[in-house]
Structure 1
Amino acid sequence: MKAEYSFDPDTAHGLMRVRMAGFFEPGDVARFAADLMEQLAQLGRPPNEHLTLVDIRAMDIQSQQAVERFEQVLANSPMRSRRLAFVVGRSLSRMQIKRAASSRDAGYFQAPERAEAWLLGKDDAAAA
């Protein structure tokens, strides 16, 4: 499946919801990063003061090259969120995102509602 992503900014909470699906080529990761920077600028928060929820349940297993590019995106200072949560599905995808986000203290959840509650501090939900 071709790479797809969408953004759902919540300016009231400083929360960027991201949905990602399919297989990402390195060029797709670069386009995603550029679009994310554009969306974050419109969120109305100072750099690194936003929250991010990324739903990757529909992502395919990624190539090593794509995982490395995602590592760079996640470590990018202007894009770093104050708190980061992933909604994950299959175990191999989960292992790939944990590797890509190894520089981050991120939460991993199976339900988007739990991830969002954790991000907003409304729940002491333990990460999955």
Structure 2
Amino acid sequence: MSANYSFLVEPERDLVRITMGGLFGPDDIQGFLAARKAAHAKLICPRNAHLTLVDSREMKIQSQDMVTAFQGVLATPEYRSRRLAFVIGRTLARSQLLRALSGRGAYCFETFLEAEAWLFSPADEAPLRVAS
């Protein structure tokens, strides 16, 4: 497959930045899970108190099996973020992401500025503008 992903942890901000692109297969998901575990080990905040910002602008259309696998990735309670924001492009993969996020309480944005503004806003504040 042609999947790529990277994690950048900012422990002082309780922030995990993830960049994802390409087409994922089962082995890529397993590698992603291992990388996520290593990234979360660098956090210093309590479990589930971190923020996550995902750059998914380079994601390709995924197979239904991979969409289902990503739903499972998002549902894993020990890695659940306090807030989860995605920066997405205008691709067909966007609709798959929105389906995978169903019920997760995450938001999608068109810019990093909008995503970070929401991530670091007061806890009960809804985003002013989201991508749809």
Instruction: Give the secondary-structure state (helix, strand or coil) at the position aligned to 2:12.
Output: coil
Separation (CA, whole Å) in 2 of partners of 1:103 and 1:37: 23
Secondary structure of the corresponding residue to residue 103 of structure 1:
coil
Aligned to 1:26: 26
Q: Is the 8 A contact 1:117 1:125 kept in 2?
A: no
Query: What's 1:37 paired with?
Result: 37
**1:1-128 equivalences in 2 (<5 Å):** 2-121=2-121, 124-128=127-131
Q: Does the CA contact (< 8 Å) of 1:7 and 1:16 recur in 2? A: yes
Number of residue pairs matched? 128
How far 1:91 sits from its partner (Å)?
Answer: 4.2
Maintained 8 Å contact 1:75/1:103: no
TM-score by length of 1: 0.92
For the aligned residue pairs, the C-alpha RMSD in angstroms reads: 1.6
Deviation at 1:92, TM superposition (A): 2.0
TM-score, structure 2 normalization: 0.90
**Cα deviations by residue, 1:88-124 (Å, 9 ceiling, x for unpaired):** 1124211111111113101110101210111011795
Structure 2 unaligned regions, length at least 5: none
Work out the CA distance in 2 between the residues paired with 1:63 and 1:106.
Answer: 22
Q: Is the 8 A contact 1:17 1:53 kept in 2?
A: yes
Change (3 A) 1:109 1:11: same
Identical-residue share of aligned pairs (%): 47
Q: 1:6-44 CA deviation, whole Å, 9 max, x = no partner?
A: 111111210101000110002211210121121011111
